[in-house]
Amino acid sequence: MERTVDTIIEYLEESVRLKRPVSPGEWLDACQFLSLLMGDETDKLLELQQKDAQAKLDLMEAGKSAAHAKIAVEASENYKCTKRQEAKIDRVVEMIRISKLQARMRMDEFHSG
């Protein structure tokens, strides 16, 4: 199975749901892989944002007002995908932060216990 941001998130979520312990090494690996794979997610977001901007430009060049163009783009399926991608990136950034903290906590527990 290919390692992607989605598969890493799914693994961590499943571990939480099943109350399966995740070792400090697994947390650090997840953090590292998420960090490395973030470039792909950022590229996807930039492509979606560019499509939104082009759609606005096309509408404005067709004589629509900026306000109309903005509302029309925000009502589009592509805009919904853009917002989902933004939320996914925010979630991954937060997961990286949490993974780092979790790994530190587990290592502290390991060394003190």
Worst-scoring range by mean pLDDT, 12-21, 42-51, 95-104? Answer: 95-104
For the cut 80, the answer to whether the pLDDT of residue 14 exceeds it is: yes
Angle between helix axes 5-17 and 24-61 (nearest 10 degrees) is 130
- Specify the pTM: 0.80
Worst-scoring range by mean pLDDT, 4-18, 45-59, 66-80? Answer: 4-18
Domain boundaries, the chain: 5-104
For the cut 80, the answer to whether the pLDDT of residue 61 exceeds it is: yes
